Structure 1
Amino acid sequence: MTDQRPTLADVARVAGVSRAAASRAINGTYGASEAVRRRVRAVAAELGFEPHPVARALATGRAGAGRRERIEVLIVDPDPEAMSTKPFYGRVLTGAMRALGDRDIALEVRRVATLPADDGDAPFGRLLINVPGAAGAAFARRGRTVALGRSAPGVMFVAPDNDGGGHQAAAHLVNTGRKRIGAVFGPPTPCADERRAGFMRVMAGAARPVAVADGDFTRARAYAAARELLAGEPRLDAVFASCDVSAMGVLQALRETGRRVADDVAVVGFDGSALAEAADLSSVYMPVEDEAASAVHHLLDPALPPPGRLPTRLTVRGSS
């Protein structure tokens, strides 16, 4: 005899929600609004759906495995040392944990060199970092997703005013009389492209030529790029590095070639991390912790209004 008992999928279909949302509504776990919870439970009662006790225990975290809802921070970065060498990621985790507070939701961090082939056990929500636009859109179709930085159209994101920050860095160098300016930009990502655009727009308006080298937000590449810039233009009197980690490589190259910071060459970074403060580096501060907290708040409550761009500001220190 065929078992005709209604399934959770049946309840989700009739209620017009995803299977995961139906499960959360029935089991009373975090992430379902009161309206959705009432609708799903009404449909379940109408269909005569009764959750299996073992499945219910798993869904609510009362099984032996101690399962909890979780938010995954998915980071695409080929650098195996990225979590320890790039302060940005630590600041993201600080902001995410601040937003979660004492909620019974786990924060799971996954760094991958390339995106995984499949979704596997999908989390309650995902915070995407450095995920290409098309892949970000695919994740967004499968569940709650917020990107840090502009992604594909239709994918919610939180980002600082990168363009404005690049503008501030360039204006500072122009206004302090620097004439022969170099720049170590970042990889071809939206945030790096925005910083570059803001910087170059000011330089074009001031008729300042810029010696450009491409970086990848690592110290090693920025060091090599700065050596290339100095070899091609020995009289450089300023360098903009599009992140603080890159600025550390630039400072190393300047020291090794006998240039004095900032008497001979001014240096400005971007991030405003603890590295900048420790190195007395002028840097454009971006509120990473606030970005991450805002992203998590939107994962918890998608009904919140879309976040705007968060402001950046240049902090001038001894390097410029």
Structure 2
Amino acid sequence: MSGSVALVVGEPLSRVFSEDPLFALVSRSVSRELGDVDRQVVLMLGTGPGSSARIERYVAGGHVDGVMLVSMHESDPLPRAIDRIGVPVVSYGRPAPSVPIGFADSDNPSGARLAVNHLLNRGRRKVATIAGPPDMIAGQDRLAGYLGAVADAGQRAQVVHGDFTRQSGAEAMARLLRAEPDVDAVFAANDLMAIGALQTLRRAGRRVPDDVAVAGYDDFEAARFTHPPLTTVRHPVAEQVGAMTRLLVDRMGGGPLTSIVLPAELVIREST
């Protein structure tokens, strides 16, 4: 037994240590949770030339007793490779359907539906979405929730994509205004893209929420300090990490492959 667990993040260094608070929150929570069971965290970044092969060799070499995967993309070979190695592995978020590993996730489709239904219930007649990357399961699940809600309401879906960064949200909102100038509500698949959308709307002279209501997803600290404060779906990072840690510890002890999905919660603020 090595006494260590690998935390593998499927994003480049520039993204992990950038504006997105998710990775710092996950890393901090993982370190705390594993410290409680006397395990050390080894942070590994799963992008860049040769990184997948290096991580595979490291894991296969017996340097860690288990692996936690975060922010994986569908084309990433690591989840399948680590599963083949036979080291216990769990995912932060639902993995691709073809990867048979346990996971802890929040209920992304239901969370998106909560946000979109809230916008519809406020009388919004043209609700668009700034969806996340189509090769990430969280992006797919939140888009599915949006599509289901607007279909149930008899509205036409209006979808533009971002990459979960603030800049991509600003650019997506600009494209949306050009294509659908009478849009009156936007659900962004994470708070950073929602913040970018707010910036574009402000530059375009659109009042929030009077002209365009905006909702996000995550409820990170920044959502409380936007102008106006952002309505969003709470992403229970600490609880999800705790569930993921318990799943991995159980797997390392010979337990069965299981998964946990945590409920979504809408936090209503002045942007809607």
Same structural fold, with TM-score higher than 0.5 when normalized by the shorter chain: yes
Note if 1:73 corresponds to 2:4: no
Q: The residue matched to 1:223 in structure 2 has which SS?
A: helix
Shift of 1:249: 0.8
Identity over aligned pairs, percent: 32
User: Which residue in 2 is equivalent to 1:148?
Assistant: 92
AA paired with 2:119?
Answer: L
Residues 109, 144 of structure 2: 8 Å contact kept: yes
User: Which residue in 2 is equivalent to 1:260?
Assistant: 207
User: Which residue in 1 is equivalent to 2:18?
Assistant: 84
User: Which residue in 2 is equivalent to 1:99?
Assistant: 33
Q: The residue matched to 1:85 in structure 2 has which SS?
A: coil
Return closer, same or farther for 1:99/1:242 CA change in 2, 3 Å cut-off.
Answer: same
Counting only pairs closer than 5 Å after superposition, residues 232-251 of structure 1 correspond to structure 2 as 232-251=179-198
Return closer, same or farther for 1:227/1:132 CA change in 2, 3 Å cut-off.
Answer: closer
Residues 140, 155 of structure 1: 8 Å contact kept: yes
Shift of 1:102: 3.9
Residues 120, 127 of structure 2: 8 Å contact kept: no
AA paired with 2:103?
Answer: F
Q: Which of 117, 120, 123 does residue 174 from structure 1 map onto?
A: 120
Distance in 2 (CA, whole Å) between partners of 1:183 and 1:131 is 22
Shift of 1:235: 1.6
Shift of 1:179: 0.7
Shift of 1:305: 7.0
AA paired with 1:171?
Answer: N
TM-score normalised by L of structure 2: 0.87
AA paired with 2:71?
Answer: N
Distance in 2 (CA, whole Å) between partners of 1:317 and 1:265 is 14
AA paired with 1:261?
Answer: V
Residues 69, 92 of structure 2: 8 Å contact kept: yes
Residues 286, 311 of structure 1: 8 Å contact kept: no
Q: Which of 196, 216, 234 does residue 163 from structure 2 map onto?
A: 216
Shift of 1:301: 2.0
Return closer, same or farther for 1:233/1:87 CA change in 2, 3 Å cut-off.
Answer: same
Distance in 2 (CA, whole Å) between partners of 1:186 and 1:250 is 13
Distance in 2 (CA, whole Å) between partners of 1:153 and 1:126 is 14
Shift of 1:291: 1.1
Shift of 1:159: 0.8
User: Which residue in 2 is equivalent to 1:314?
Assistant: 266
Distance in 1 (CA, whole Å) between partners of 2:82 and 2:25 is 23
AA paired with 2:271?
Answer: S
Distance in 1 (CA, whole Å) between partners of 2:120 and 2:265 is 17
Q: Aligned pairs, how many?
A: 254
Note if 1:139 corresponds to 2:82: yes
Distance in 1 (CA, whole Å) between partners of 2:204 and 2:157 is 20
Residues 13, 45 of structure 2: 8 Å contact kept: no
Distance in 2 (CA, whole Å) between partners of 1:267 and 1:209 is 18
Q: The residue matched to 1:84 in structure 2 has which SS?
A: coil
Shift of 1:132: 4.1
Note if 1:110 corresponds to 2:44: yes
Shift of 1:207: 1.1
Q: The residue matched to 2:266 in structure 1 has which SS?
A: strand
Q: Which of 203, 218, 221 does residue 274 from structure 1 map onto?
A: 221
Name the structure, 1 or 2, with higher relative contact order (CA <8 Å, separation 6+).
2
User: Which residue in 2 is equivalent to 1:194?
Assistant: 141
Distance in 1 (CA, whole Å) between partners of 2:236 and 2:225 is 18
Q: The residue matched to 2:160 in structure 1 has which SS?
A: strand
AA paired with 1:269?
Answer: G
| Unpaired stretches in structure 2, ≥5 consecutive residues | none
AA paired with 2:159?
Answer: V
Shift of 1:141: 2.4
Shift of 1:110: 2.2
Q: Which of 99, 107, 127 does residue 68 from structure 2 map onto?
A: 127
Q: The residue matched to 1:210 in structure 2 has which SS?
A: coil
User: Which residue in 1 is equivalent to 2:177?
Assistant: 230
Larger Rg belongs to: 1
Q: The residue matched to 1:317 in structure 2 has which SS?
A: coil
